[in-house]
């Protein structure tokens, strides 16, 4: 039996058509719409090496304007690196972009020295090589730079890719697993462009408070692409690779999403949802039933945060069209997936508290209020004059000095300092941490390096079923408190500590990060 989450919300009779166009227009649109780009799989070569080359490129996202990009082994985003559990590979990262980067393996449980955090810088023209000894269950992870304080800009430009771990247990399940055929990666991002077609990336008070607000949704680097799959069960490997935006994903015709995996791997049983909320840095794998062969869209519905409801995110926005029109598929939805250890009856004592702080939220929020954003969202009607005022603030509010940027946010009362070790965590022990948020009204998806953890409770309640498995991102909302059970099997020393931070990249780059040793 498929577990029906209590959060399952029926979208009674709401069918946002694949397109609201007549059959002729659908046909016309088909030929002009981009195909969903499928990142190439990249396995270690015969010598056990995985080569990643960060380089500049260019792409056409808007009309025929060339946008300057960064990519890994290509012009934008990167390959899907595939490793097997218990495999030891060498990752060799070449930096051919004109700025210092790092390469962090988000979700991988490895020592601090291999983690690719802000201390392991790769200057332009240089290479960084590290061993990755993979020993954790099958999961969809990802990699991206972690340069302090430029992660946001480097990710906006295109540096990010998937990192997929395979293992025997998951290989025995009849899940759809033919890459790009019935196993479809979806990297969802939002971007905004300057009038000359370049990526907008201004760090002002609006950005360090609210995070990046794009007006264009991209899936694997394409605008509203379409993809043909087998006629059968389809697996979507979803990464929210945006800087700040959360998405509420749904199928346009109301069909269910069966969530089978969270950040760190398979859930115990599938969780059937009509709407799937995914925050930045999070991954979910979901199966959808395409046995009827009928096309549908994955859409995103408006989310809670006011500024993230600016058009085109003020109504259901189609992200990608899935056409299950190919040969019959063979994948299935198993009724049970993996054995998840039960949380211990006796929880360890609380050893660490992390409080997310915003020191300048007034500077970032007040102008939006004055511009009428909150009132507009409350009224439920989009007002072009308000939208224009808010967009003007996003785009034109002055860039912060580096000192102002770096002191805008913090953890436990202090903005990040790369020189200062903030705390030490015990190695190889179950630890209970408490993550919370002050009085600001933001949601912070908090991410911790060097581990996969379990959410014990969120605001005193058990986590949603789709967040009850292995996680490396815990969403904390307005005044909320989340407790997690975490264990660090590997060391991280003062030279290569682990990070814990809000994964809204503009928060991370403005002080909402802390570092610790194990
Ligand atoms: Cu995905 Cu510390 O990062
Ligand atoms: Cu990480
Ligand atoms: Cu945050």
Q: Give 372-402 as a DSSP string.
A: THHHHHHHT---HHHHHHHHHHHHHSPPPPH
Task: Give me the residue label for tokens 């049970």.
Answer: 336
State if residue 146 touches ligand 1 by the CB under 6 angstroms criterion: yes
List of residues 6+ apart from 59 with CB closer than 8 A: 66, 67, 69, 75, 76, 158, 221
8 A C-beta contact, residue 302 and residue 315: yes
State if residue 279 touches ligand 1 by the CB under 6 angstroms criterion: no
State if residue 449 touches ligand 1 by the CB under 6 angstroms criterion: yes
3: pLDDT strictly greater than 50: no
8 A C-beta contact, residue 485 and residue 432: yes
282: pLDDT strictly greater than 70: yes
pLDDT digits (tens, 9 = 90+) for 153-205: 999 999 999 999 999 999 999 999 999 999 999 999 999 999 999 999 999 99
**Which residue minimizes the CA distance to atom 3 of ligand 1?**
106
8 A C-beta contact, residue 99 and residue 115: no
d(Cα 336, Cα 111) in Å, to the nearest integer? 32
Percent of the chain with pLDDT over 70: 94
**Is the Cα dihedral 145, 401, 279, 488 positive or negative?**
positive
d(Cα 260, Cα 286) in Å, to the nearest integer? 6
pLDDT digits (tens, 9 = 90+) for 333-379: 999 999 999 999 999 999 999 999 999 999 999 999 999 999 999 99
Q: What is the pLDDT of residue 477?
A: 87
pLDDT digits (tens, 9 = 90+) for 285-338: 999 999 999 999 999 999 999 999 999 999 999 999 999 999 999 999 999 999
pLDDT digits (tens, 9 = 90+) for 110-151: 999 999 999 999 999 999 999 999 999 999 999 999 999 999
- Inter-CA distances, 37 with 64, 77, 272, 323, Å: 18, 11, 27, 15
How many Cα atoms within 13 Å fall on the side-chain side of residue 275? 17
Q: What is the pLDDT of residue 2?
A: 42
State if residue 507 touches ligand 1 by the CB under 6 angstroms criterion: no
Chain-wide mean pLDDT for the chain? 94
In this structure, of 5-9, 231-235, 388-392, the range with the lowest mean pLDDT score is 5-9
Q: What is the pLDDT of residue 473?
A: 98
pTM of the model: 0.95
State if residue 145 touches ligand 1 by the CB under 6 angstroms criterion: no
d(Cα 469, Cα 357) in Å, to the nearest integer? 27
List of residues 6+ apart from 141 with CB closer than 8 A: 105, 106, 107, 108, 162, 163, 164, 165, 263, 283
Query: 438: exposed, middle or buried (C-beta count within 10 Å: 0-12, 13-18, 19+)?
Result: middle
d(Cα 189, Cα 388) in Å, to the nearest integer? 22
Task: Give me the residue label for tokens 């649109």.
Answer: 29
pLDDT digits (tens, 9 = 90+) for 460-515: 999 999 999 999 999 998 789 999 999 999 999 999 999 999 999 999 999 999 99
d(Cα 311, Cα 317) in Å, to the nearest integer? 9
26: pLDDT strictly greater than 70: no
**Which residue minimizes the CA distance to atom 1 of ligand 1?**
106
For the CA of 508, the nearest atom of ligand 1:
2
Mean pLDDT score, 94-102? 98
Mean pLDDT score, 7-17? 37
pLDDT digits (tens, 9 = 90+) for 47-75: 999 999 999 999 999 888 999 999 999 99
pLDDT digits (tens, 9 = 90+) for 400-418: 999 999 999 999 999 999 9
Torsion of Cα atoms, 279 then 474 then 151 then 416, to 10°: 140
Percent of the chain with pLDDT over 90: 92
Q: Considering every ligand atom shown, identify the ligand nearest to the alpha carbon of residue 207 and give its number.
A: 3
Please give the backbone phi and psi of residue 130, each rounded to the nearest 5 degrees, phi first: -150, 150
């Amino acid at each position: 039996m498929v577990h029906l989450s209590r959060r399952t919300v029926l979208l009674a009779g709401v069918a946002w058509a694949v397109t609201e166009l007549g059959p002729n227009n659908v046909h016309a649109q088909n030929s002009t719409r981009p195909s969903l780009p499928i990142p190439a799989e990249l396995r270690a070569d015969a010598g056990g090496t995985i080569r990643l080359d960060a380089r500049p490129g260019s792409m056409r996202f808007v009309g025929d304007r060339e946008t300057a990009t960064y990519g890994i082994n290509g012009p934008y985003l990167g390959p899907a690196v595939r490793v097997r559990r218990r495999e030891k590979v060498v990752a060799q990262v070449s930096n051919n972009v004109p700025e210092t980067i790092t390469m962090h393996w988000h979700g991988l449980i490895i020592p601090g020295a291999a983690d690719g955090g802000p201390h392991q810088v790769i200057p332009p023209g240089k290479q960084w090589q590290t061993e990755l000894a993979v020993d954790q269950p099958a999961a969809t992870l990802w990699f991206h730079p972690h340069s302090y304080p430029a992660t946001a800009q480097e990710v906006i430009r295109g540096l990010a890719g998937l990192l997929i771990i395979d293992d025997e247990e998951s290989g025995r399940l009849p899940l759809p697993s033919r890459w790009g055929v019935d196993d479809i990666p979806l990297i969802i991002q939002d971007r905004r462009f300057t009038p000359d077609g370049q990526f907008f990336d201004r760090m002002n008070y609006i950005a360090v408070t609210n995070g990046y607000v794009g007006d264009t949704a991209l899936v694997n680097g394409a605008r509203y692409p379409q993809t043909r799959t087998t006629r059968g069960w389809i697996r979507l490997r979803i990464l929210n690779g945006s800087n700040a935006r959360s998405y509420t994903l749904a199928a346009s015709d109301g069909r269910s999403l069966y969530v089978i995996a969270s950040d760190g791997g398979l859930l115990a049983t599938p969780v059937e949802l009509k709407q799937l909320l995914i925050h930045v840095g999070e991954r979910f794998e979901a199966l959808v039933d395409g046995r009827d062969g009928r096309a549908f869209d994955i859409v995103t519905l408006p989310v809670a945060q006011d500024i993230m409801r600016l058009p085109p995110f003020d109504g259901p926005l189609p992200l990608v069209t899935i056409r299950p029109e190919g040969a019959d598929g063979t994948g299935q939805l198993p009724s049970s997936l993996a054995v998840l250890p039960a949380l211990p009856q006796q929880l360890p004592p609380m050893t660490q508290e992390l409080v997310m702080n915003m020191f300048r939220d007034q500077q970032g929020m007040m102008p939006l209020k004055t511009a009428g954003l909150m009132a507009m969202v409350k009224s439920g009607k989009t007002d072009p004059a308000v939208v224009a005022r808010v967009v003007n603030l996003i785009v034109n509010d002055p860039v912060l000095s580096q000192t102002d940027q770096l002191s805008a946010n913090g953890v436990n009362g202090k903005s990040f300092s790369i020189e200062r070790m903030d705390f030490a965590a015990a190695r190889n022990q179950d630890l209970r941490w408490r993550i919370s948020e002050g009085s600001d009204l933001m949601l912070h998806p908090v991410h911790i390096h060097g581990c996969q953890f379990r959410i014990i409770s969120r605001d005193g309640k058990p986590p949603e079923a789709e967040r009850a498995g292995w996680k490396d991102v815990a969403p904390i909302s307005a005044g909320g408190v989340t407790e997690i059970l975490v264990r660090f099997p590997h060391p991280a020393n003062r030279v290569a500590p682990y990070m814990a931070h809000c994964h809204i990249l503009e928060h991370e780059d403005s002080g909402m990060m802390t570092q610790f040793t194990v």
